[in-house]
Amino acid sequence: MADNTTPTREPARRVFATELNDATFTFKESEDDRAPVYVLLPTGEQANRVFVVGTLTETEDVGRDQEYWQGRVVDPTGTAFVYAGQYQPEAAGALRELETPTYVAVVGKPRTYETDDGTVNVSIRPESITVVDESARSRWVTEAAERTLDRLGALDSEGNEYGVRAQEEYDVDPSVYQSAVVEALESLDELDAEAEPAEDLSSGP
């Protein structure tokens, strides 16, 4: 419910890249120019901020007259695109300076833009990009999995207006996001399996 007297900050949604890239439908809750822009997640939730952790694999200055940095942040399901220019000086600085590959955490606003051929692309306009370690990355994968399952579980719940809207706006079968969750978690398990034998040798009976 909108409360105009005390704007409350909304949680940063945990969204896998595959779902974020599908979230091409945007809307505002009010006519006010300053009202936040939301993307509608296909799993049925509004997002005006996202938190993603993944591997920054490439950075590139794609600006013409001024620096405009693109970063590719890869999670087990796909690649999220991050763009930072003069209005995000700290994030742009991070993209300029970071060595790739490295694990990063990105807090930012989801944004959509339409290409010349009419395709709508989704990207993140970062508020911060920071280097994190692998533990944060795997914690995020598990957390994003949980939150995605939460959303899927509530998709058809009574009174979930965003669930209804998502199913109206998007053609995608939501079960693809469930499969993405399974794949993402399995990729973590494989990492664990690789790490385990060494532990077994060191531990006695």
Partner 1 sequence: MSDIQTAARDIHEEFTDHLDIDLEDVSARLERLVSEYKVPLSEARRSVENHYLDEAGLERDDLASGSEEEVSIADVNQPEQWISLTAQVVDLWNPRSDAVGQVGLLGDETGTIKFTAWAKSDLETLEEGSVYRLENVVTDEYQGRYSVKLNKTTEITEVEDEIEVGDDDSTMDGALVDIQSGSGLIKRCPVEGCTRVLQNGRCSEHGDVEGEFDLRIKGVLDDGKSVQEVIFDHEMTEALTGIDIETAKEMAQDALDTTVVADEMEETVLGRYYRVTGPVMGRYLLANEVEELTEPVDPDDVLIQARSM
Find the helix or strand (DSSP H, E) in which 191 lies: helix 175-202
Residue 12 touches partner 1, criterion: CB under 8 A: yes
Which residue from 145, 130, 38, 132 is spatially nearest to 93, judged by alpha carbons?
Answer: 130
Strand order across the beta sheet in which 45-47 lies = 26-28, 37-41, 45-47
Q: Which of residues 47-76 bind partner 1 (CB under 8 A)?
A: 49, 51, 53
Residue 141 touches partner 1, criterion: CB under 8 A: yes
Residue 26 touches partner 1, criterion: CB under 8 A: no
Among 114, 143, 156, 173, binds partner 1 (CB under 8 A): 143
Q: What Cα–Cα distance (Å) separates residue 152 from each residue in 43, 72, 121, 181, 203? A: 6, 26, 23, 11, 40
Which range of residues in 10-18, 66-74, 112-120, 197-205 is near partner 1 by CB under 8 A? 10-18
User: Do 19 and 177 form a contact (C-beta atoms < 8 A)?
Assistant: yes
Among 112, 138, 160, 167, binds partner 1 (CB under 8 A): 138
Q: Nearer Cβ to partner 1, position 13 or 25? A: 13
Q: Which of residues 96-135 bind partner 1 (CB under 8 A)?
A: 104-107, 127-133, 135
Among 142, 160, 164, 172, binds partner 1 (CB under 8 A): 142
Q: Which of residues 145-164 bind partner 1 (CB under 8 A)?
A: 145-147, 149-150, 152-153
Q: Nearer Cβ to partner 1, position 37 or 188? A: 188
Q: What Cα–Cα distance (Å) separates residue 110 from each residue in 30, 63, 97? A: 18, 20, 23
Please state at what angle helix 175-202 crosses helix 134-154, rounded to 10 degrees.
140
Q: Nearer Cβ to partner 1, position 11 or 101? A: 11
SS3 (DSSP) at 138: helix
Sign of the alpha-carbon torsion through 50, 163, 16, 196 = positive
Report the interface residues with partner 1, using CB under 8 A.
8-14, 49, 51, 53, 90, 104-107, 127-133, 135-136, 138-147, 149-150, 152-153, 178, 181-182, 185-186, 188-189, 192
